[in-house]
Structure 1
Amino acid sequence: MALKTLALINILVVGCVVPMVQGQLLGLLGLLRIQGTLYCTANGNIGVNGTTTPVFPNALVQLQCGGNVVSTATTNRSGIFSILLDPLNFVLSTLLSGCKLVVNTPLASCNTNLPSIGSLQSTLQFIGNALFGLLNVGNIIPSGFQFNANLN
C-alpha cells in the first residue's frame, strides 16, 4: 500500500512540476521583429498619394545601436524589410532609446532625381506583441525616416 501511495505522490508531483517548468520555458520563446516598408521618396516614407508611392527595393537597412551595426536586412522588391532579434540579447527599452535604422543605399538608385549621397534614418517605435502559436513576437516599426545629408 505504501508503494502505491508513493507512486501516486510521484505522479502528482511530476504532473504539477513539469507543466510549470514548460510554462517558464515557453515564456522565453520570443522574438523581437523590426519591420517596415521603405519608399523611394526624399524621406523614405509613403507619399501624399498613398498607394501609388514607389517602393525602394534592394536597399540595405542597418540596425545601429550605439553607432555599431548589430543587424542588417535588404528590402525585397516590394520595399519590405524585416529584422529578427533574440530578446535575450536585446532589451526592448534599449532598442527604443539607443538604436536606429539607417539606410546608406543612395536614394538615386531607386530614382535618379533623388540625392546620390546621404542616408535615411529612423528611430524605432514599439507597437505591441503578437502570439504565433507558442511564440511571442514583439513588433517594432520605424517611427519615420528622415533624410540625413551626412553619411553618419
Structure 2
Amino acid sequence: MAPKSLVVLAIIVAAAGLVPLGAQAATASVSTSVRITGVVPCSAGSSIDVTKVSVFPSKDIHSATNAGLQLVCTGKVVASTTADGTGSFLISIGGVGTDLLAFLLGNQCKVVVITPLAACDASLAGVTGTLTAPLKLLGAAAAGTTGNGGLLDLGGILSPLVQIIGSIIGGILNLGTQAFTLV
C-alpha cells in the first residue's frame, strides 16, 4: 500500500483536475520537475540498509564500475542515469506529463539497477536478480524557492490545499528511494 502522504497527494492532484478520475491520464506537460535521489548498495538481499553495506562502485577504484540505473514506471523505462563514485545518483526530469506525475504519485514507479552486482564485488558473481527500490515522497518545493524554506512536509499535516497544489504545479517534486531489494 502506498504511504499515506502519496495517497493524499494523488487525491489532491486528481481533485485539481490534473488527472481525471476514471479516465486515462492526459499526456499534457505541466511545469513540474521531478528529482529522484538515492544511494545504490553493493549487496544482495531484501530491504537493504545502505548505511550498513558497501555501495557502488567497488572498493577497488582501478576496476570500479559505477551502477547504471533506470526509472521504470508501469513496466516502461522513463529515464536513465549512472551513480557517481559514492554510489549516489540523481534522476532529474523537467516538464513532467500528467500521466507520469500520476504514476509517480500512485506508487507505480521504481528505480532499477541494471549493472550486475558482480561489478561492485566479485564475490556476488553468482547472485542472480535485479536490485530495485520503490519511491517515497520527500516533499514538493514551489518554483523559485531555494533551500528548505519552500519545502512542504507532505508526510505531516497538510498545508492549505491551494498552497500544495501550487507547489506541485510549477514546482519540484522531490522523491527518494526506499530500501533496495534483490528481485
Higher relative contact order (CA 8 A, sep 6+): 2
Letter in structure 2 aligned against 1:130: A
Give % identity.
35
In structure 1, runs of 5+ residues without a counterpart are 1-27
- Number of residue pairs matched by the alignment: 117
TM-score, length basis structure 1: 0.66
- Whole-angstrom distance in 1 between the partners of 2:123 and 2:51: 15
Alignment of 1:1-80 (within 5 A): 29-43=31-45, 45-48=49-52, 53-57=53-57, 58-80=66-88
Contact 1:41 1:47 in 2 (8 A): no
In terms of fraction of residues, the more helix-rich structure is 1
2:116 aligned residue (83, 106, 115): 106
- Whole-angstrom distance in 1 between the partners of 2:85 and 2:143: 26
Change (3 A) 1:71 1:147: same
In structure 2, runs of 5+ residues without a counterpart are 1-29, 58-65, 146-169
Give 1:47 deviation, angstroms: 4.5
In terms of fraction of residues, the more strand-rich structure is 1
Q: Between 33-42 and 130-139, report the one with greater CA deviation.
A: 130-139
- Whole-angstrom distance in 1 between the partners of 2:84 and 2:135: 20
Q: Pairwise CA RMSD of aligned residues? A: 2.3
- Whole-angstrom distance in 2 between the partners of 1:112 and 1:45: 20
1:92 aligned residue (82, 96, 101): 101
TM-score, length basis structure 2: 0.56
CA offsets 1:87-120 (integer angstroms, 9 cap, x no match)? 5325434114221111121111101122453210
Letter in structure 1 aligned against 2:43: T
